[in-house]
Structure 1
């Protein structure tokens, strides 16, 4: 395999930089052979071209070592690609945006839970702490706190928050609940945000804003620094909880579902958590293979869809939520929910105690996740097809029935054209919906990889023309998505570029992340 070097860096210069990195972290913690780097390839590659690869991986054990790595990178002109645990699958995994970058894997050794405060309900973490790690810590210490976790619990709490990922308890907007950062800046200085900038403050994890401009958001989905510590708020574990499933038979029920849902959600009662609305493809893929229902090419026929619904005892749309509090409150809220959604003909209601069959598998998994218990069950989605991988297309919309139906029909039409199954999940915030569309494909087939990339590129453009932007995207689509945020002759990107060039004049940290390129690489179509 041909060695991948950083753009414009000679072998000799690169080897000199690697030796300096080894001097900082030790030989064991610098990887550079082809076999070692294979683990950092995108696990679900898209496109026919060779996927972006790193030139090396460096694993520091402290903030001070991260500072040294960044200073050496500036000296030698080596672009760095920070990752925590590298589990950002569906969005590029651990692979760098710029091929030839050196991955700084902070989560390999910086994996300590520095503090859990029971009184105030927060944790202070290093990047390598996963949702499973934090859960096990809380369990082993008989904590009265619970975490909020995403669909898959193997990822980094810090990494998911910095990518503005979501979970499903009342604390589901992860960045909303972060409480202070420690960041190594692009020239090697270290900064703490909020009250952490005040020496001796005991309020770093209590009041994230501090004094003056609020910089924390500039380190999310960004390339302006390497986060080495982060605080996160933790919810008090409620006295009881009850998860529920509502099934709706018809795809056209979507409009009415969303319109009924909004007033129940916007006041955080009776819908207390971040509920999800999934179509039958999403739920069937969690418990079966595609060939069980249809063994042909092209879109799934109507007969097969009806059989999925019948055999799994589910609807075309399936709504999952969880209620928390004293049992009388749960009973009252559930009654309000049943009364509201019961207006839709054919709506059926189940609690998690009532469904332990195959079709109830997702409900049981949601009950765990919505109670802060990490899971890996959603990985079963990838068994839908051989060598399964997925790419996420995740436009945001208002929580409006017509808008939801418009998005659904737009995506379904394009999926049918490309003969792809469209597994849909609407993640419902207070005033918006993340429409997470999963397209599962055979990663071993080059044509399938290219088709999935081209289809998603088309969807990015179509969605933007209809006024929908993505909240998060794959490495291969970052330039495409940023190009759609072009109000005011691209004022947003120009602003990001000015900040990037001011803080990172040598273009070291994650060039191209979120479509923001430093002047050194700008306009080169890398």
Structure 2
């Protein structure tokens, strides 16, 4: 029997913890994950401590840190000179990427600063300008699969906004909206709405521990009708790279007697250009407050449809499109390959298959035939909303449409046992944040993962091209393919989850090679990622090169105007300030693979 690990923190103990209702589930998930762990908790660090920012002497750094401690208090400025511990989802690091692709010590910060207010964030940014030290803001650092807390420029000072800026500033029940700081998780917002007994839903991603604000800024998605998180934000308070303060939308108009504008969370634009978009997936400012629309609670019904053949994939997509465009499909549904039915049980790959290389299709089929999903190839998870009559009408249309695929089967949650994954999907699709998605990390020892996340039209011919690229390249690099398609009426997020053992240099190099080739092969066919890992940002940004890279030149113009000293998150999402640009910092080829096993991605040239 696996020895129990230390209990994960609860929300009552820590802003980043889990609700009491999930404490035992979190404990079980942590125990399972650690039972599959073979790597040590930490290894001795080999490089200078702490890692210095580029072109900053230790004397200058120590002096600057001393000044910052005087401004914020010594306890709110912490040097990154301790052992690096990867932890896990609920107890993750803010010093480096827990799912490190290059060596653990490569993408590390020099220090972490914990501001407690927007005013203190302004103070940190002004300090960074004065001492020419790059800063890297995070909300909660749970952007796992995309780089976590790792700064793109090693030695940057991480601004951890979550620890002391974690207040729900407002919930307006009549307006169905809220305002939150960066450290408010989906767990925290949900629990507060329940505590107040308000008839409102939140929209949550698969895991509920991430920052509501941070996920929206990175254009993450959920699964209710309000699943596009950035599209459902309303109003931001932003610290600019020079330390100035901006409110977007109606917040730019002062309210009566110095109060917030009463329309700030009601209307997204204001007068003049709509500026909010430039602060998503950028390094143009630090968002310290953000408003969101909430969903009035409603009736709902989740369901699952299975399809027998691999070759059914194009037909499924063609059926989904008109249902989504006509808004018959109630939410942002998921289409998954059946191998994920094995994966989300939390059992390791070795339970299903003892061979080397990707798990063979016939092995997946054999195991699936003994499970509740049956011998199938694709699984569709959807949810309908409204009153009983409207849900019944919608479900009849959906059943009739999918029945055109021979051998398809329809299931309700009541048809399946309580441990089946459908019950987790039903919770997520009704705005209840959960932890079930952690279980697929048990697939490999010391598991980490990368997301490859291109966008395709909701059209069979396009989806098939991207899917076949994934099939071919996952086979080439010997990784299991776990595709999830989040489907809308006109586009689909094709998300492939690349699971690797972070203690294995070989698996890391193959994962990096797979990512690099997936990006290039998809872009060659005209398909680009909507979001990517920090190490692949330059390559992905470089694929958006229409008209001699007009988009990047536009982004660089904004960056240089707002951040002339280049201190705010240089390199984030491929946007480099003039200070760094063209001096060897961009990663566009084999640099990531070459850095694994003792190399470095940091250029030798001076800034």
Q: TM-score range by the shorter chain?
A: over 0.9
Q: Could you say which residue in structure 2 is the equivalent of 1:236?
A: 296
Match of 1:150 among 205, 208, 217: 205
Structure 2 unmatched ranges of 5 or more: 1-44, 86-92, 256-260, 586-607
Q: Could you say which residue in structure 2 is the equivalent of 1:283?
A: 341
Q: Could you say which residue in structure 2 is the equivalent of 1:226?
A: 286
User: Whole-Å Cα distance in 1 between the matches of residues 303 and 56 of structure 2?
Assistant: 56
What does residue range 235-254 of structure 1 map to in structure 2 within 5 Å? 235-238=295-298, 240-254=299-313
1:486 aligns with 2:545: yes
Q: Could you say which residue in structure 2 is the equivalent of 1:496?
A: 555
Say if 2:97 and 2:104, in contact at 8 Å, map to a contact too. no
Say if 1:37 and 1:56, in contact at 8 Å, map to a contact too. no
Match of 2:399 among 335, 338, 350: 338
Q: Could you say which residue in structure 2 is the equivalent of 1:10?
A: 57
Q: Could you say which residue in structure 2 is the equivalent of 1:524?
A: 583
Say if 1:129 and 1:156, in contact at 8 Å, map to a contact too. yes
Q: Could you say which residue in structure 1 is the equivalent of 2:33?
A: none
Say if 2:202 and 2:295, in contact at 8 Å, map to a contact too. yes
For residues 204-232 of structure 1, the C-alpha deviation after alignment (integer angstroms, 9 at most, x for no partner) is 01011001111111111100111000000
Structure 1 unmatched ranges of 5 or more: none
User: TM-score when scaled to structure 1?
Assistant: 0.97
Backbone CA RMSD of aligned residues: 1.2
Match of 1:135 among 152, 168, 190: 190
Q: Could you say which residue in structure 2 is the equivalent of 1:437?
A: 496
- Paired residues, number: 522
Match of 1:192 among 241, 247, 252: 247
For residues 427-449 of structure 1, the C-alpha deviation after alignment (integer angstroms, 9 at most, x for no partner) is 01231000000011111111111
TM-superposed deviation, 1:124: 0.4
TM-superposed deviation, 1:357: 5.6
User: Whole-Å Cα distance in 2 between the matches of residues 140 and 48 of structure 1?
Assistant: 43
Residues 30/36 of structure 1: CA separation in 2 closer, same or farther (3 Å cut): farther
Look up the SS of the partner of 1:175 in the other structure: coil
TM-superposed deviation, 1:313: 3.0
User: TM-score when scaled to structure 2?
Assistant: 0.85
Say if 2:80 and 2:109, in contact at 8 Å, map to a contact too. no
User: Whole-Å Cα distance in 1 between the matches of residues 469 and 378 of structure 2?
Assistant: 17
Runs of 4 or more consecutive aligned structure 1 residues displaced over 4 Å after TM superposition:
none
User: Whole-Å Cα distance in 2 between the matches of residues 466 and 37 of structure 1?
Assistant: 40
TM-superposed deviation, 1:50: 4.7
Q: Could you say which residue in structure 1 is the equivalent of 2:272?
A: 212
Look up the SS of the partner of 1:468 in the other structure: coil
Say if 1:42 and 1:51, in contact at 8 Å, map to a contact too. no
User: Whole-Å Cα distance in 1 between the matches of residues 105 and 58 of structure 2?
Assistant: 21
1:393 aligns with 2:452: yes
1:21 aligns with 2:68: yes
Q: Could you say which residue in structure 2 is the equivalent of 1:325?
A: 386
TM-superposed deviation, 1:311: 2.0
